[in-house]
Amino acid sequence: MSHEAVKAIAARIEEMKPDFARLSDRIWDFAELKFEEQRSSAALAEVLEANGFSVRRGVAGMETAFIGEIGSGKPVVAFLGEFDALAGMSQAAGLAKAQPLDEDGTGHGCGHNLLGVGSLMAAIALAQHLKENGLRGTVRYYGCPGEEGGSGKTFMVRAGLFDDVDTALTWHPAPFNGVRSTNNLAVIEYYYRFKGMAAHASNAAHLGRSALDAVELMNVGVNFLREHMPQDCRVHYAITDAGGKAANVVQAKAEVLYLIRAPEMPQALDLVERVHKVARGAAMMTETEVEIVFDTAATNLLPNIALETAMHENMVLLGPIRFDEADIAFAQSIQDTFTDEAIKSSIRLYQIKGDAFSNARVDGSTPLHLGLRDFERQSHFRAGSTDVGDVSWVVPTAQCWTPAWAIGTNPHTWQVVAQGKSPAAHKAMAHAAKTLAATGLSLIESPELLAAAKHEWAEKAEGRAYVCPIPHHIKPAKP
C-alpha cells in the first residue's frame, strides 16, 4: 500500500477526532459494567447508522452486542470494539491522585471507552475510503460487550458470527506504541458454592457445619496445588460470599470465585479438574456440600505474524504520535505516583525495548512512549487473558497498542481511569484508528497478504481444533 493512501486515511481520521473524542468521553461517563452497556452500545450503534452502516442489535443473545456492516463482497474485514467498565474503579478524570467520584462506583479501568471508539473510527474511515476510491470489500464493526469477565466475543464466536469473516483487527490502550505478538493465557471461571448448617457459634457449634470453613480450606488446598502445576499457569480467587457478618453464627453458606489460567485451553481444563477435586475435598472435610457452577471462559490467543507485520509496517509509515508539552506534563504527574519498581515492571511487562524510529531504549525517563516499539516477528508469553483469543481461533486476528497511558501504568488501576479523557489518550486512540484502518486497506488491496495470513493461521491451528469453552446452555451473565 502506498504512503499516500496511509496519509489520506490518517488525515481523514484527524478530521474525525474531535467528535469521536467527545464520544469516547461520553462512554467514559457512562462507565457501564459487562452486559449492562445499554447507553454505550446505543451511542456507538447510532454513529454507525449515521455513517451508512446497517446495524444488527442484540446478536448472540446479548442485548448490548451488535454488528455494523457496510460495503459488499470479499474480503470481509472486522474491527473489534469493547466498551464495558469495571466495578470499584470510580475516579475523577485528569487528576494525578486517587479521588473516586463515587466510592462504590464504576470506572473505565482498562480504557475500553477509547478501545471501542478507536475501532469505530477505523471502520468508518476505511469504509469511506473504499467508497470514494471504488474499492470492493465489506467492513464490519463488532460491538463486543462484557470483555471484563463476560467473554462477550466468545459468545459471538459460538453463535457463528465470525464464520464468513476473512480477518479481524483490534487494539488496546497501553503505556507503549507498537505491535507485540503475544500468547495470552486461556482462562476458565467457576463459582464454588458451599452449603453447610447454621448453628450458635458458642452454645451449639458442634451442630454447625461451616461453609466458610470449607471455602478457607479450599483456598489453602489450592495454595498447595500451585507448587505442583505448570509454572506458566495462574490461579486466582475472590471470596464473593463469606456467609454473613455475624461472627457468632456458623456460616451456612459461602462462595468463592476462581479464575484458572493456562497457556492452552486443554491445560486449563486439566487444571480445572484438579481444582474441582480440592473443592470436593474441602466439602468432605467440613461435612458440607459444594455446588460447582461454570461462569465463563476465554481461549488463548493464536498470534498471526503476517498480519502483525503489516500492522507494524503501517505504524512505521504513520510515524510517531505528536504529543505536546501538556501531554508530557500530565503523564509525568501520573508517573510520579508510581514507584521505580512499577515503572521498570511496566517496561518489562510490555517488553518496550528498541525503538523503530530512533533505536533508543525506553527506560521510563520520558513519561510517554514517544517512539515505536521494534517488532521482533515472534510471539511472547503474556499472562493476561482476553476473549479476542476465541476470535483468533476462527479467523486470522491481529492487534496493536498505542500509548494512552504513562509508562508505569498498569491496567485496572485508578491511574488508567484518570487518564481516560486526556488529550494524550485521544491522540493515542486516533493513532490506533489510523493503524487499524490502514491495515484493513492493506488486506483489501493485497490478496497476497490476506492469503499469507490465512496460510499461517491454518498452519498454527492444524491438529488443534477450536472448541468453544462456553457450553451452549450457558447464557451471558450480568454482574
CA 133 to chain CA centroid, Å, is 33
3-state SS assignment for residue 94: coil
Q: Domain spanning 186-297 has what CATH number?
A: 3.30.70.360
Question: Which of 167-171, 349-353, 394-398 is least confident?
Answer: 349-353
Q: How many CA atoms lie within 13 A of 388 on its CB side?
A: 27
* CA distance from start to end of the chain: 45
Which fold is adopted by the domain 3-183+301-461?
Answer: Aminopeptidase (3.40.630)
- Please give the torsion angle defined by the CA atoms of residues 305, 306, 307 and 312, in that order, rounded to the nearest 10 degrees: 80
Specify whether the CB–CB gap between 108 and 416 falls below 8 A.
yes
- Would you list the DSSP string of 20-55? HHHHHHHHHHH-PPTT--HHHHHHHHHHHHHTT-EE
The reported pLDDT for the residue numbered 360 is: 62
Give the C-alpha distances (Å, rounded to integers) separating 95 from 30, 369, 419. Answer: 19, 20, 8
Return the DSSP state at 89. Answer: -
The reported pLDDT for the residue numbered 428 is: 98
Averaged pLDDT for residues 230-258: 96
> How is the chain split into domains, by residue range?
3-183+301-461, 186-297
Averaged pLDDT for residues 282-310: 97
The reported pLDDT for the residue numbered 2 is: 75
Question: How sure is the predictor about 359, in pLDDT bands with cuts at 50, 70 and 90?
Answer: low
Specify whether the CB–CB gap between 202 and 426 falls below 8 A.
no
CA 128 to chain CA centroid, Å, is 27
3-state SS assignment for residue 222: helix
Candidates 295, 294, 290; CA nearest to 211 is 290
Over its C-alpha atoms, the chain yields an Rg (Å, rounded) of 23
Specify whether the CB–CB gap between 47 and 452 falls below 8 A.
no
Candidates 346, 373, 345, 376; CA nearest to 361 is 373
Specify whether the CB–CB gap between 90 and 401 falls below 8 A.
no
Residue pLDDT, tens place only, 94-139: 999 999 999 999 999 999 999 999 999 999 999 999 999 999 999 9
Mean pLDDT over each residue of the chain, to the nearest integer: 95
The reported pLDDT for the residue numbered 278 is: 98
Candidates 26, 153, 173, 146; CA nearest to 85 is 146
